[in-house]
Amino acid sequence: MLRHLSIRDFVIVAALDLEFDRGFTVFSGETGAGKSILIDALALTLGARADASVVRTGQSRADITAEFATHEQVERWLEEQALSDSGDGDSEDCVLLRRVVDANGRSRAFINGTPATLTQLREVGEMLVDIHGQHAHQLLMRPDAQRDLFDTHAGLTAAAAGVMRAHRGWRDAAHAVELAQTRDRELQLERERLAWQLAELDKLAPQPGEWEEIGAEHRRLSHSANLIEGVQGALNALSESDDAMVAQLGSIVSKLRDLAEIDPALNDALASLEPAEIQLREAAYSLTHYAQRLELDPDRLAQVDKRLDALHSIARKFRLQPETLPEEHEARRAQLAALDAAADLDGLRASEAKAKEAYLVEAKALSKARAKAAKALGAAVTTGMQELSMAGGSFEVALVALTEGGAHGLEQIEFRVAGHAGVPLRPLAKVASGGELARISLALAVIASTASPTPTLIFDEVDTGIGGGVAEVVGRLLHQLGHDRQVLCVTHLPQVAARGDHHFQVAKAADSNGGTVSTVSPLDKASRIEEVARMLGGLEITATTRKHAKEMLTA
């Protein structure tokens, strides 16, 4: 649920801070006052595209923040994205979405104070808000919009996405067959090159870490004489000569122990020398152990030299770094296997057939689910049409079979309508008038929203093209939706506005620079009567229109 919306320097809005509650909230105002600007601002926090035109004239940036109450699905998503903490100590039950657009059109997005991508805003926004725009009825003319609306209402979005993935797999497998057929000679030449390189590497058999290991061994073997001489000299100085350091230090420590019994002040010096004696003895032991392993081995040195030269030679031949030879060896083995598979037309054709079968399994399951959902949606919209002054009219979701399955399944979704009794069903785009299309779109929006788990529904002038008794029905339907969730509606109809649980008035005013700004004010009971009366009677409000408005609000 939307709790708070803060807008700064957006189009003609200078500064707005609005608090929202549950139920049905309406926005009304004169034409051009900026009613839909509020929805546009909110849409930015949900990931809509933006450019420099949204920044109020003379300002450096537009800044919009929306606070929503969360639910389990949103909280789980925030945890997965590491975006749970809002930094204000109140992150357990709310999420803050913020969008900043500067005067150059650059945009930044934040979720709970953390920089986010537009994709992330859209993902979380889809779980929080469902917006039905004022041009939704025009979108219904498009086949893809009909399909998306139907699949969303039927809860088949995931199944449709699975069909699309399966179709892509089938398409890729078919493309692999075509590629193998047209590039057979090229593949053969590439295979020969890889086979030769792989044979060379197989003979050498480079091992992971080998280059570093034998390099270290080579350095040790080539400097064995110097190492033996140096280590032996150190051992002599430490422990093997007559004046060895270990013996001398041991004698000093022994004498100081005796003296410390006479004068304890020597204990500090003794405490420093005793660990030194131990360390010298350990160093002598370590050097002795190392010296025992050292030996002059010209035969082993020659073997290591030969191996280093072989690794370096093949690396130079293939233009590689010697240390990467093991990885390149396995990479060429995998590339050759892939080319062998690509050259195997029978295998590729079998893979294509398997991918096609997988697609058909998912597509047929989707078709079955669509057929079931089509009947339910058709019946529900038909019922809604009767309430919206289309008595005798009917609505049908037709599944038109395709000659070949596509990315969206085995059929095209087509909405068909009959405006009144005795008229055959025909495609919506061909037979519906503007008014009929608006009413059918509204019926679909209300029915789809009833099944939607989204906690906030926004209707932006979806009542365009209707009036009279139909408008009263629309107001009642939207008010009913508000019983179970939050519904926000921008409207120009008094019949809809009168049904609101909460009412905001949007108005234009002049700023100190002579420009125009949009203001939004919550209305109390008396103010609502005046606003509904204005919506009923235009500029001049009479006692009659005021009385009518009061009756509408108390009905």
Q: Are 378 and 350 in contact (CB under 8 A)?
A: no
Looking at mean pLDDT, say which of 280-289, 408-417, 540-549 comes out highest.
Answer: 408-417
**Residue 224 confidence (pLDDT) above 90:** no
Instruction: Give the whole-number percent of the chain exceeding pLDDT 70.
Output: 90
Q: Are 2 and 96 in contact (CB under 8 A)?
A: no
* Mean per-residue pLDDT of the chain: 85
* φ and ψ of 191, to 5 deg: -65, -45
Dist CA 90 CA 95 (whole Å): 9
Q: At what angle do helices 184-204 and 325-342 cross, to 10 degrees?
A: 150
Residue 497, CA distances (Å) to 395, 456, 467, 471 in order: 28, 18, 12, 10
Dist CA 437 CA 428 (whole Å): 8
Task: Using CB atoms within 10 Å of the CB of residue 227, give its burial: 0 to 12 exposed, 13 to 18 middle, 19+ buried.
Answer: middle
Which of the 8 DSSP states describes residue 55? B
Structure tokens at 142: 């498009």
Domains of the chain with CATH codes: 1-128+498-522 (3.40.50.300), 202-338 (no CATH)
The whole-number pLDDT of residue 99 equals: 95
Instruction: Give me the sign of the Cα torsion angle 323, 327, 332, 335.
Output: negative
Residue 73: Cβ within 10 Å count: 12
What is the DSSP track for 61-126? EEEEEEEEE--HHHHHHHHHTT----SSS-TTSEEEEEEEEETTS-EEEEETTEEE-HHHHHHHHH
3 state SS of 515:
coil
Dist CA 449 CA 34 (whole Å): 25
Identify which has the larger pLDDT, 341 or 263.
Answer: 263
The whole-number pLDDT of residue 434 equals: 64
pLDDT per residue as tens digits for the range 381-404: 888 888 777 788 889 999 999 998
Nearest-5° angle of CA 169, CA 175, CA 176? 90
Q: What ranges make up the beta strands (E) of 407-515?
A: 409-418, 426-427, 456-460, 486-490, 502-510
The whole-number pLDDT of residue 169 equals: 94
The whole-number pLDDT of residue 216 equals: 82
Dist CA 312 CA 330 (whole Å): 18
Instruction: Give the whole-number percent of the chain exceeding pLDDT 90.
Output: 31
* φ and ψ of 56, to 5 deg: -60, 140
Residue 537: Cβ within 10 Å count: 16
| Rounded mean pLDDT, 453-475 | 79
Structure tokens at 250: 């041991």
The whole-number pLDDT of residue 52 equals: 92
Q: Are 485 and 446 in contact (CB under 8 A)?
A: no
Which residues have C-beta within 8 Å of that of residue 142, sequence separation ≥ 6? none
**Residue 55 confidence (pLDDT) above 70:** yes
Long-range contact pairs involving 75-84 (C-beta distance under 8 Å, separation at least 24): 77/123, 77/124, 77/127, 78/111, 78/112, 78/124, 81/111, 81/120, 82/114, 83/111, 83/112, 83/114, 83/116, 83/120, 84/112
Residue 394, CA distances (Å) to 88, 151, 413, 446, 463 in order: 53, 20, 17, 17, 20
Which residues have C-beta within 8 Å of that of residue 161, sequence separation ≥ 6? none
**Residue 433 confidence (pLDDT) above 80:** no
Which of the 8 DSSP states describes residue 273? H
| Rounded mean pLDDT, 533-555 | 85
Dist CA 114 CA 345 (whole Å): 51
Residue 501, CA distances (Å) to 278, 453, 478, 504, 545 in order: 86, 21, 11, 10, 21
**Residue 522 confidence (pLDDT) above 80:** yes
Alpha helices in 154-244 (DSSP H): 157-182, 184-204, 210-222, 224-235
**Residue 362 confidence (pLDDT) above 90:** yes
Closest CA to 459 of 502, 489, 434, 483: 489
The whole-number pLDDT of residue 337 equals: 84
Q: At what angle do helices 525-537 and 543-554 cross, to 10 degrees?
A: 120
Instruction: Give me the sign of the Cα torsion angle 8, 11, 12, 16.
Output: negative
Closest CA to 10 of 60, 57, 62: 62
Place of tokens 């993935």: 165
394-406 and 456-460: which strand pairing? unpaired
